[in-house]
Structure 1
Amino acid sequence: MFTAEFWDERYGSKDRVWSGNPNPHLVTTVAGLAPGDALDVGSGEGADAAWLAGQGWRVTGVDVSTVALGRAAAHAVERGEQVAERISWQQVDVLSWDPAPAQYDLVSAQFMHLPRPALEALHRRLAAVVRPGGTLLIVGHHPSDLDTAIGRPRMPELMFTAEQVAATLDERDWEIRAETPGREVTDPDGNPVTIHDAVLTAVRRG
């Protein structure tokens, strides 16, 4: 499930995999930030990248799947020429890819789930390309979601807490906020269920 082939097949299996809306934690985090250069990691069908570009950000969107990237580029064009022009798309394998020496004012990785050693290594590489004063935003499924009836894969080793992400950062260099907010969704039977996200927001000290 960590290969381009897996994700190309998944995206190719239906017209749309995700909602097409930007992730809510990204929207909340960016609300108080001045637009600059953003890196959207695991950009999927491009909703986050297109939304950021619509807010005036210059965005680099990366994903392992060329099918997803093609769909993302088309989504950006649908949002308008100015949005599409602010985004560059790259096909990368995050297991080995290093974004350095580029630098960004915002680095966002939403719901990237990898084996723990690979995930921690990725988080360190992402942190390294945040400019002074810039923001690192990492969001994932909290392990407590395994106890809900919403169809999460029974793979606890791929879930993490915000505190685990925070442990990869040096507090001398970062202002760190680790949170586990809840949000309400609907289970397959139509019942409301509260799930919890792992949300790490860190600002590099300047």
Structure 2
Amino acid sequence: MTTHADHPTTPTDPTEFWEQRYGGSDRVWSGKPNPLLVREVADLTPGTALDLGCGEGADAVWLATQGWTVTGVDISRTALDRAAAHAADAGVTDRTSWEQHELGTTFPAGSYDLVSAQFLQSPVALDQDGVLRSAAEAVAPGGTLLVVMHGGWPSWAEPHEHSVPGAVFPTLDEVMTALDLPEDEWKVVTLDGVASTSTAPDGRTGTRVDNVWRLQRAA
């Protein structure tokens, strides 16, 4: 089987890869916020938020509708344009802004009450550990770092579907080790693996585990 990584028409440059990914269809994602984001921010007081790898803006727009002032960041200009259009349709243009960054190379300035990285996993080059450490540094005193990642392949996936070069599924402990946060400055609020129903493109169903890290910085 030829994978996307060795297919001659699939770029390995991150910007080109994600531009091709978003440019290949009118919409890639559902437009709905990630359920684990919704769950974890329900008890937080809205403030400023940074959404890393915001894609087409569903999470950022939802946060803005809840009263947050959100900066969405993505590598793809096409994705950011769609995110801005989504924000306009939702009437939250005044509470959203959009920045293009290749995370690991450049990172948005400032500090935020919430820094969210939802499924920041890439089949092409990404300094995941470095980006997450930068994300932690961007959390304001008293603020929250929220990271959600797939913990593995869905149960319905065939063995050959697992052989994707560059696919990384860090464990709960591995991310905590990579972050290396001072215990006297950070509190672990959520450290959990959550199983949910997953549906294959052909209709097969199964389960998939997503890992959640919610950490609060001391005020």
Question: TM over 0.5, yes or no?
Answer: yes
The answer on 1:179 being equivalent to 2:192 is yes
Give, in angstroms, the shift of residue 158 of structure 1: 2.1
The answer on 1:199 being equivalent to 2:208 is no
One-letter amino acid of the counterpart of residue 63, structure 1:
D
The answer on 1:160 being equivalent to 2:170 is yes
1:80-99 maps to which residues of 2 (within 5 A)? 80=91, 83-99=92-108
TM-score, length basis structure 1: 0.90
Q: Percent identity?
A: 46
The number of residue pairs the alignment matches comes to 202
Give the 3 Å change call, closer, same or farther, for CA 179–76 of structure 1 in structure 2.
same
Give, in angstroms, the shift of residue 97 of structure 1: 1.6
* 3-state SS in 1 of match to 2:146: strand
Give the 3 Å change call, closer, same or farther, for CA 59–10 of structure 1 in structure 2.
same
One-letter amino acid of the counterpart of residue 52, structure 1:
L
Gap regions ≥5 residues in structure 2: 1-11
Deviates more, 1:84-93 or 1:150-159: 150-159
Aligned partner of 2:113 in structure 1 is 105
TM-score, length basis structure 2: 0.85
Give, in angstroms, the shift of residue 117 of structure 1: 8.1
Give, in angstroms, the shift of residue 61 of structure 1: 0.4
Give, in angstroms, the shift of residue 148 of structure 1: 4.1
| Deviation sequence 1:14-55 (CA, Å, 0-9, x none) | 110001100111101111011100000001000001000000
Aligned partner of 2:145 in structure 1 is 136
* 3-state SS in 1 of match to 2:141: strand
Give, in angstroms, the shift of residue 155 of structure 1: 4.0
Asked if the contact 2:14/2:125 (under 8 Å) is kept, the reply is no
Find the aligned partners of 2:125 and 2:77 in 1 and give their Cα distance: 25
Which residue, 37, 40, 45 being the options, matches 1:26?
37
List, as ranges, runs of 4+ consecutive aligned residues in structure 1 with deviation greater than 4 Å: 114-117, 150-153
The answer on 1:61 being equivalent to 2:76 is no
Find the aligned partners of 1:70 and 1:195 in 2 and give their Cα distance: 30
Which residue, 40, 50, 54 being the options, matches 1:39?
50
| Deviation sequence 1:91-142 (CA, Å, 0-9, x none) | 1110212334x11000001111158981111111110111121110011111
Gap regions ≥5 residues in structure 1: none
Alignment RMSD: 2.1
Give the 3 Å change call, closer, same or farther, for CA 32–5 of structure 1 in structure 2.
same
The answer on 1:122 being equivalent to 2:131 is yes
Aligned partner of 2:8 in structure 1 is none
Deviates more, 1:175-184 or 1:163-172: 163-172
Give the 3 Å change call, closer, same or farther, for CA 117–76 of structure 1 in structure 2.
closer
